[in-house]
Amino acid sequence: MSENPAKIRDLRRLWKPHKLRLSEILTEHPTNIRFHRAASWIQRAEDVNDESDLEISLISYWVAFNSLYGQWNELAHAPECDTDCWRIFLDRMLDLDESNFVVDALDEHKSLVMAIFDDEYLSRFYWIEPSEKQAGKSKKVKYDARTWYIKANWTLILDRLVERIYLLRCQLVHGASTYNGKLNRTAIRHCATMMDHLLRAFLQVWIHHGADEDWGIMCYPPQRKFSQVGNGRIPQGLDSRPMNGSASHDGRSRRPR
């Protein structure tokens, strides 16, 4: 079983040699910035101690995840579609994961994965026509997942798992859930905990196998802010505004789901 660092500071320490090396290539290297942004939001989630702040924890974990998978569309001058980006990212994680960090997380926390699959309210199919009959159909994935585990179909397990967490994330950020509400307390706790496990696995893949990968065009890279002084322009700190980042991803399509 792969080691899972207890705190984000451990992951930052492991990343530091790559950070220094990449900084010599480019001062604000996009791979470094993605890692830094993700780590900052995981740190925020780690600081949540109150049960009533589980929503903040889950949202923070998703923002950290988005820091890693997000892509910039140069033609539209806007971020690419979320679901397309994170699905491609998940495939790349599994492809790069020679140390089985992600697989170990899915295997070690199988009971939590199954609990998320067993929650009909996290299924997009349930919300097509909410009913008791539809709830039963929505739970079918739990039984399918048992077969996926036996066959070690990690691609399907990971995709379907994150799809369900994404549905809850959308409910929260689009105002479709009450803060500290009682109805989805267990679901939020399950999803926040699972995102914690997954993100630590993703960052370990990033550290051990992804430091020299091209992670695509980063959204809203840090920009220098200038003010006019006479005829010159003097940098005054950092800001974030859209511009071109690193070279884009190789464009390969994601695996059939």
DSSP per-residue codes, 106-171: HHHTHHHHHHHHT-GGG-TTGGGS-SHHHHHHHTHHHHHHHHHHHTT-HHHHHHHHHHHHHHHHHH
What pLDDT is stored for residue 139 in this prediction? 76
Give 141's pLDDT tier (boundaries 50, 70, 90). confident
Q: Render the burial of 93-104: b for 16+ CB within 10 Å, e for the rest.
A: bbebbeebbbbb
Residue 244's pLDDT band, with cuts at 50, 70 and 90, is: very low
Enumerate the β-bridge partners of residue 84.
none
Range 17-23 contact pairs with CB under 8 angstroms and sequence separation of 24 or more: 18/207, 18/211, 21/211, 22/211
Rounded Cα–Cα distance for residues 55 and 189 (Å): 8
Residue 171 to residues 136, 141, 168, Cα–Cα distance (Å): 21, 21, 5
Please say if the pLDDT value at position 245 is more than 50: no
For residue 79, pLDDT over 90 is answered with: yes
Q: What percent of the chain has pLDDT over 70?
A: 85
Q: Which residue has the higher pLDDT, 228 or 158?
A: 158
Mean of the pLDDT values across residues 163-192?
Answer: 96
- With a cut of 70, say whether residue 210 has pLDDT above it: yes
- pLDDT value of residue 140: 82
Half-sphere exposure of 66 (CA within 13 A, CB side): 17
Query: Residue 84 is inside which H or E element, if any?
Result: helix 82-96
With a CB cutoff of 8 Å and minimum separation 6, the contacts of 127 are none
What percentage of the chain carries pLDDT values higher than 90? 73
Please give the average per-residue pLDDT across 186-193, as a whole number: 97
* Contact (CB, 8 A) for 72 and 79: yes
Beta bridge partners of 234: 227
pLDDT tens by residue, 11-45: 999 999 999 999 999 999 999 999 999 999 999 99
- pLDDT (0 to 100) of residue 231: 36
pLDDT computed for residue 11 by the predictor = 96
In the predicted structure, residue 251 carries a pLDDT above the cut 90: no
Stronger pLDDT, 89 or 143, i.e. the higher one: 89
Confidence of residue 226 (pLDDT cuts 50, 70, 90): low
Higher pLDDT, residue 88 or 140 = 88
- pLDDT band at residue 6 under the 50/70/90 scheme: low
pLDDT of residue 248: 40
Q: Do 28 and 34 touch, CB atoms closer than 8 A?
A: no
- What integer best gives the mean pLDDT of the chain? 87
246 — pLDDT class (breaks 50, 70, 90) = very low
Q: Which pLDDT belongs to residue 208? A: 97
pLDDT-derived band at 230 (thresholds 50, 70, 90) equals very low
CA–CA separation, 198 vs 212, rounded Å?
21
Question: Alpha-carbon distance 22 to 183, whole Å?
Answer: 46
Q: Which of 27, 28, 64 is nearest to 44 (CA)?
A: 64
Please check the confidence at residue 228 and state whether its pLDDT lies above 60: no
